[in-house]
């Protein structure tokens, strides 16, 4: 407890006054909010029973359904781990279960008449089997054996019960389904991995998912690619290839995607075109982030983290009923603060590549009964960061020669590695101009659903807003020695409104279907300045987008094992953009002054076909043919009026997949495979073309591209407590035909950010240790060589591998937990992002080894 008090004290101190340069007010709002939540949590946390005590009554709401699904709901509502063989629940149904019950009593009622019994392995783990105690209607399980924690019983009544892989529930098909039963390439990241791997943003997800790579030009300009397809033009009138949803709400701009993840239930990553089940279409894939719902009992978490580079993170969550079981609420707060790991020899005292971000999330859930449900979500986040420190790595930079009087007498071209050696290490940069990132994101959404005998009607209304301001020395060069440097400065304001109506049919009919209507309005105002020693160029874009879509999907069961799904999406979209270019000086990216209005509209219909065969309870095969679509738009930073007038055509893809999902060795081993072939037309490609005295940005439509690959995911539990899992992706992504307007032929070249091989391996081990539990985790991630430009002779990013590890101890009361963790344990020096400017390559390096201690109190 003393450790926690020591860790919390600086927060209360911070609340006494403003923090210079960050949201300065009379009282630091973020510290005050956290302090109030901590006080509330500590007061109630010392008086509430621990999470693992099963003697407390809890409110259960479980409908009659297949027993396997009912047991999943029970485990979630009781906050218990449930161990059961799949074959023991096969073909069995559960009754409706509602009311305040002891967990053991509720489980007894669920298992009544099934021939199954249960036994507590410890205070948080229950084993269900036909070999165990059978509850009777008279006692409802109230005399079930109480929890015990002696080591000899930790293997359970049968070794193979504890060694089965967990069932994963997905909602990507708009119904709660077992991941192994859905015919789609999907990866699910659950709270244990989010917590123990310290997944805080979309960059932390990258390389843990087959085919997904993530890098960032800045925190507000990530480049997300899935199976070799992504978006690199951040202009005001272009869409993302990989789309993110937060609680089913589309996140519109690239400046908003790489936000702080906190208080999440799970992250689902769907690979390939998505559109027949989602409000917004995604040509390359979708990332669906789901936040946690309020609980029916008062519960919460208080957490503090301390680490190297002055890291101090804090997290607090409080959840529970506000009006009996009709109105529930949840409030979460998360902050991350760390000094930068990179300094510049020309900026004394400035630490670059720091972290200084905080976020808050609130949710209200109203259940008046009669099948009606309403919830309100609100989220807010703020970032205040230093420069990200670029390093020159490839090319030759013209360096000034000075005479005895200190005046320039000429130039000499020096290799960039000589300049980089001035710093001598990725942790020491040579930029002379100080950068920053200042970003605020907030959003509101409401969900109203009404469920009846024939299905469920759902309405999702949402508003989101992002303010993003950014300045970076893009070449990382000192201005006193060269004119070949440029500072990039972006000010962007984005607002969006969306409305979705969705009808989901009942499950117990021959043809199950989902249909819906979607409307989206986006307004983006983006000003981008390029500042040179002898010139300034500014592009000012103001774009408004209106998007309308009708979508649907229906599944027909030919037999109980064979299903055919057909779906479609009709999209109509308009964009209207006013833009103005202004230039000064003789060194610039933009080449002409002009003012222009662009207008365009596009219509598309994209179908989807899926055939699936459940060979047996453990093996499923599926094949799919789907069409994906990405809307057209206008140039992000056009150098000339002629280029600005040129409309970028929509890109389309036909995607073909064959998938195989299986479980073996009595559910100890899970193996999922998918092979795919994607045929792209008019692929939107952004290039920085070296022309004139520096270069210009240009987005064009590649004639065609082919992507083919194989993806594999596995989970293995050889015995209780040990779990091995990982993924591998092979990707062959090339341009079939691509001749750009300057006459260069890139046919046969590899697409941007498309490594041929990527690998993820992880080990997790848990066992009783003294009176508590010990958890050990290790992750290995490898990403192969990739290219950053269609011209594969430049901007080649080397492959890299990373190792993360953690050791956690959970105390016997199930309340306190301490975790030692390390990221980039082997202290690898690796390039996380690479780009070309003025014919030279500049790199952002990933962070060095970081480590720390996290202390958590759950109540």
Q: List pLDDT tens digits, range 100-120.
A: 888 888 888 888 888 888 888
Looking at residue 620, its pLDDT comes to 96
Does residue 564 carry a pLDDT above 90?
Answer: yes
Among 93, 161, 100, 170, CA closest to 128: 161
Q: What is the CATH number of domain 169-291?
A: 2.170.130.10
pLDDT band at 157 (very low <50, low <70, confident <90, very high): very low
Does residue 484 carry a pLDDT above 90?
Answer: no
- Angstrom distances, CA of residue 243 to CA of 171, 282, 495, 574: 16, 6, 17, 19
Does residue 149 carry a pLDDT above 50?
Answer: no
Q: Which two tokens stand for residue 361?
A: 């999330």
User: What's 90's DSSP letter?
Assistant: T
Looking at residue 716, its pLDDT comes to 95
- Angstrom distances, CA of residue 340 to CA of 12, 170, 311, 428, 831: 24, 38, 10, 11, 17
Cβ atoms of residues 632 and 574 within 8 Å: no
Q: Which two tokens stand for residue 141?
A: 């399980």
* Range in 95-99, 209-213, 335-339, 715-719 the model is least confident about: 95-99
Q: What is the mean pLDDT of residues 117-139?
A: 67
Burial class (CB in 10 A: 0-12, 13-18, 19+), 413: exposed
Looking at residue 15, its pLDDT comes to 34
Q: What is the mean pLDDT of residues 304-331?
A: 95
Strand partners, 456: 451, 504
Among 634, 659, 636, 661, CA closest to 648: 634
Residue 2, sorted as left (phi over 0), alpha (psi -120 to 50) or beta, turns out to be alpha
Fold of 299-858: Maltoporin; Chain A (2.40.170)
> Using CA atoms, how far apart are residues 330 and 543, in angstroms rounded to an integer?
36
Percent share of the chain, pLDDT over 90:
49
pLDDT tens digit sequence for 612-622: 999 998 999 99
Does residue 634 carry a pLDDT above 70?
Answer: yes
Q: Is the C-alpha dihedral spanning 172, 173, 179, 180 positive or negative? A: negative
pLDDT band at 17 (very low <50, low <70, confident <90, very high): very low
- 413 sits in which H/E element: strand 408-415
Higher pLDDT among residues 172 and 334, named by residue? 334
Does residue 220 carry a pLDDT above 70?
Answer: no
Among 161, 143, 185, 13, CA closest to 81: 161
Q: State which of 212-216, 387-391, 827-831 shows the largest mean pLDDT.
A: 827-831
Sequence-distant (6+) residues with CB within 8 A of 523 are 494, 495, 496, 542, 543, 544, 545
Looking at residue 858, its pLDDT comes to 92
Residue for token pair 């509209």? 601
Looking at residue 120, its pLDDT comes to 80
Looking at residue 170, its pLDDT comes to 65
Looking at residue 414, its pLDDT comes to 60
Burial class (CB in 10 A: 0-12, 13-18, 19+), 690: middle
pLDDT tens digit sequence for 686-716: 887 765 556 677 888 888 999 999 999 999 9
Q: Which two tokens stand for residue 798?
A: 């080397």
Q: What is the mean pLDDT of residues 836-852?
A: 87
Percent share of the chain, pLDDT over 70:
83
Cβ atoms of residues 38 and 302 within 8 Å: yes
Q: What are phi and psi of 81, to 5 degrees?
A: -95, 130
Q: Which two tokens stand for residue 858?
A: 């759950």
Q: What is the mean pLDDT of residues 546-555?
A: 96
Q: What is the mean pLDDT of residues 363-376?
A: 94
Cβ atoms of residues 499 and 516 within 8 Å: no
SS (H, E, C) 330-386: EEEEEEEEECCCEEECCEEEEEECCEEEEEEEEEEEEEEECCEEEEEEEEEEEEEEE
- 548 sits in which H/E element: strand 535-557
- Angstrom distances, CA of residue 160 to CA of 70, 130, 132, 666, 719: 22, 13, 14, 7, 7
Q: Give the strands of the sheet with 347-352, arranged side by side.
A: 347-352, 342-344, 428-429
Predicted TM-score (pTM) of the model is 0.81
Cβ atoms of residues 664 and 616 within 8 Å: no
Does residue 330 carry a pLDDT above 80?
Answer: yes
Cα 354 from chain centre: 21
pLDDT tens digit sequence for 347-362: 888 899 999 999 999 9
Number of H helices, E strands in the chain: 11, 47
- 76 sits in which H/E element: helix 67-78
pLDDT band at 1 (very low <50, low <70, confident <90, very high): very low
Look up the CATH architecture of domain 51-161.
3-Layer(bab) Sandwich (3.55)
Looking at residue 420, its pLDDT comes to 61
Does residue 73 carry a pLDDT above 90?
Answer: no
* Range in 139-153, 445-459, 606-620 the model is least confident about: 139-153
Q: State which of 86-95, 509-518, 581-590, 836-845 shows the largest mean pLDDT.
A: 509-518
pLDDT tens digit sequence for 36-52: 444 444 444 443 444 44
Question: What dihedral do alpha carbons 784, 788, 794, 795 form, nearest 10°?
Answer: -70
Q: What is the mean pLDDT of residues 12-17?
A: 34
Looking at residue 756, its pLDDT comes to 96
> Using CA atoms, how far apart are residues 563 and 795, in angstroms rounded to an integer?
46
Write down the mean pLDDT value for the chain: 83
pLDDT band at 258 (very low <50, low <70, confident <90, very high): confident
Burial class (CB in 10 A: 0-12, 13-18, 19+), 826: exposed
pLDDT band at 82 (very low <50, low <70, confident <90, very high): confident
Looking at residue 200, its pLDDT comes to 86
Looking at residue 392, its pLDDT comes to 82
User: What's 77's DSSP letter?
Assistant: H
pLDDT band at 55 (very low <50, low <70, confident <90, very high): low
Cβ atoms of residues 101 and 109 within 8 Å: yes
Does residue 261 carry a pLDDT above 90?
Answer: no
Reduced to 3 states, what is the DSSP secondary structure of residue 559?
A: coil
Looking at residue 138, its pLDDT comes to 40
Q: What is the mean pLDDT of residues 493-497?
A: 97
pLDDT band at 223 (very low <50, low <70, confident <90, very high): confident
Q: Which two tokens stand for residue 269?
A: 């990553």
Does residue 304 carry a pLDDT above 80?
Answer: yes
Reduced to 3 states, what is the DSSP secondary structure of residue 27?
A: coil
* Range in 508-512, 598-602, 661-665 the model is least confident about: 508-512
* Range in 10-24, 265-279, 306-320, 348-362 the model is least confident about: 10-24
Looking at residue 777, its pLDDT comes to 96
Residue 820 CB coordination number (10 Å): 14
Higher pLDDT among residues 295 and 162, named by residue? 295
Query: Please, which contacts does 400-403 make with residues 24 or more away whose CB atoms are closer than 8 Å?
Result: 400/481, 400/482, 400/483
Looking at residue 508, its pLDDT comes to 81
């Amino acid at each position: 407890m003393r450790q926690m008090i020591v860790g919390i004290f600086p927060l209360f101190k911070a609340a006494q006054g403003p923090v210079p340069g960050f949201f300065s007010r009379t009282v630091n709002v973020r510290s005050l909010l956290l302090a109030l939540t901590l006080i509330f949590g500590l007061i109630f946390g010392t008086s509430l029973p621990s999470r693992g005590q099963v003697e407390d009554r809890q409110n259960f709401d479980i409908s009659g359904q297949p027993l396997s699904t009912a047991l999943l709901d029970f485990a979630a509502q009781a906050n218990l781990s449930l161990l059961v063989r799949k074959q023991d629940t096969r073909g069995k149904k559960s009754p409706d279960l509602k009311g305040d019950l002891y967990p053991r009593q509720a489980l007894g009622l669920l298992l009544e008449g099934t021939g199954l019994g249960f036994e507590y392995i410890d205070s948080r783990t229950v084993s269900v089997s036909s070999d165990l105690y059978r509850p009777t209607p008279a006692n409802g399980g109230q005399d079930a054996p109480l929890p015990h924690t002696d080591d000899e019983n930790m293997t359970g009544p049968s070794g193979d019960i504890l060694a089965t892989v967990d069932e994963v529930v997905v909602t990507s098909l708009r119904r709660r389904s077992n991941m192994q039963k859905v015919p789609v390439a999907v990866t699910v990241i659950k709270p244990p991995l989010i917590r123990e791997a310290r997944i805080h943003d979309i960059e932390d997800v990258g390389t843990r998912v087959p085919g997904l790579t993530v890098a960032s030009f800045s925190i507000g300009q990530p480049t997300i690619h899935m199976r070799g397809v992504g978006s690199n033009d951040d202009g005001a009138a272009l869409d993302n290839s990989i789309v993110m949803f937060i609680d089913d709400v589309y996140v519109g701009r690239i400046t908003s995607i790489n936000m702080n993840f906190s208080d999440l239930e799970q992250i689902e990553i769907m690979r390939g075109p998505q559109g027949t089940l989602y409000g917004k279409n995604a040509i390359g894939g979708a990332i669906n982030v789901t936040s946690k719902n309020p609980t029916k009992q008062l519960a919460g978490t208080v957490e503090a983290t301390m680490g190297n580079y002055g890291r101090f993170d804090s997290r607090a969550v409080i959840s529970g009923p506000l009006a009996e079981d009709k109105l529930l609420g949840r409030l979460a707060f998360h902050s991350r603060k760390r000094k930068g790991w990179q300094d510049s020899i020309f900026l004394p005292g400035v630490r670059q590549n720091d972290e200084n971000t905080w976020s808050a999330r609130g949710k209200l859930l109203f259940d008046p009964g009669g099948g009606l449900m309403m919830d309100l979500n609100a989220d807010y986040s703020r970032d205040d960061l230093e420069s990200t420190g670029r390093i020159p790595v490839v090319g030759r930079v013209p360096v000034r020669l000075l005479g005895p009087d200190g005046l320039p007498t000429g130039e000499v071209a020096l290799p960039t590695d000589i300049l980089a050696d001035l710093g001598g290490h990725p942790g020491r940069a040579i930029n002379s101009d100080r950068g920053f990132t200042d970003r605020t994101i907030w959003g509101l959404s409401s969900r109203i659903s009404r469920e009846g005998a024939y299905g469920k009607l759902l309405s999702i209304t949402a508003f989101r807003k992002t303010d993003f301001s950014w300045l970076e020395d893009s070449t990382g060069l000192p201005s006193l020695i060269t004119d070949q440097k440029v500072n990039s400065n972006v000010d962007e304001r984005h607002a969006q409104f969306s409305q979705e109506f969705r009808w989901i049919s009942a499950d117990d009919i021959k043809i199950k279907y989902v249909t819906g209507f979607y409307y989206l309005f986006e307004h983006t105002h983006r000003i981008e300045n390029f500042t040179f020693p002898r010139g300034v160029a500014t592009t000012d874009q103001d774009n408004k987008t209106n998007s309308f879509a009708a979508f649907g999907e229906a599944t027909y069961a030919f037999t109980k094992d064979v299903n055919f799904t057909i779906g479609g999406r009709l999209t109509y979209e308009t964009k209207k953009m006013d833009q103005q270019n202004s230039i000064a000086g003789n060194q610039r990216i933009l080449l002409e002054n002009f003012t222009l209005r662009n207008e365009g509209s596009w219509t598309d219909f994209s179908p989807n076909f899926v055939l699936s065969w459940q060979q047996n309870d453990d093996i499923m095969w599926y094949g799919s043919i789907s069409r994906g679509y990405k809307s057209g738009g206008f140039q992000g930073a056009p150098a000339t009026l002629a280029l600005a007038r040129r409309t970028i055509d929509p890109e389309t893809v036909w995607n073909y997949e064959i998938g195989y999902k299986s479980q073996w060795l009595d559910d100890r081993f899970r193996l999922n495979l998918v092979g795919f072939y994607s045929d792209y037309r008019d692929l939107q490609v952004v290039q920085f073309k070296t022309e004139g005295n520096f270069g210009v940005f240009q987005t064009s439509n590649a004639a065609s591209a082919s992507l083919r690959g194989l993806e594999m995911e596995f989970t293995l539990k050889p015995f209780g407590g040990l779990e091995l899992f990982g993924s591998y992706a092979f990707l062959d992504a090339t341009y079939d035909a691509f001749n750009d307007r300057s006459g260069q032929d890139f046919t046969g070249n590899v697409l941007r950010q498309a490594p041929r091989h990527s690998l993820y391996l992880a080990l997790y081990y848990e066992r009783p240790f003294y009176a508590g539990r010990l958890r050990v985790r290790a992750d290995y991630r490898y990403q192969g060589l990739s290219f950053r430009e269609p011209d594969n002779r430049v901007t080649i990013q080397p492959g890299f591998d990373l190792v993360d590890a953690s050791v956690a101890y959970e105390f016997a009361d199930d309340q306190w937990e301490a975790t030692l963790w390390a990221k980039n344990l082997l202290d690898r020096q690796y390039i996380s992002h690479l780009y070309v400017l003025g014919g030279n390559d500049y790199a952002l390096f990933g962070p060095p080894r970081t480590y720390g201690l996290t202390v958590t109190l759950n109540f």
